[in-house]
Amino acid sequence: MNYYKVPKQMDNKRTANGTIFVAGELLTEKQALKMGANLDVFERTELSQRKTYWFFGARFAMNDINQLN
């Protein structure tokens, strides 16, 4: 599945609809567009849905667990 990864410099930035971006969060194209995000800023990644996990309402890649620190 295709996801768009939120870069570190966009952490805690408010979106057009009032939600907040979380660094390293994976968004689907539909979610990102609904939030009013510019897709050119995000890193596009292809990842299996089984290689993701949810933490405090945000989706992350399992292989990125230690890279966000």
pLDDT in tens, 12-63: 999 878 889 999 999 999 999 888 888 999 999 999 999 999 999 999 998 7
Domain membership flag for residue 69: no
The predicted pLDDT at position 28 comes to 94
Domain membership flag for residue 37: yes
Kindly tell me if the per-residue pLDDT of 69 is higher than 70: no
Domain membership flag for residue 33: yes
Q: Which of 14, 25, 31 is nearest to 59 (CA)?
A: 25
Domain that holds residue 15: 2-64
Exposure pattern of 7-36 as b/e (b: 16+ CB <10 Å)? eeebeeeeeeeeeebbbbbbbeeeebeebe
The predicted pLDDT at position 63 comes to 75
Alpha helices, DSSP H, located in 18-64: 29-34
Domain membership flag for residue 15: yes
Domain count, the chain: 1
The predicted pLDDT at position 30 comes to 93
**Confidence label for 65 from pLDDT (cuts 50, 70 and 90):** low
Domain membership flag for residue 18: yes
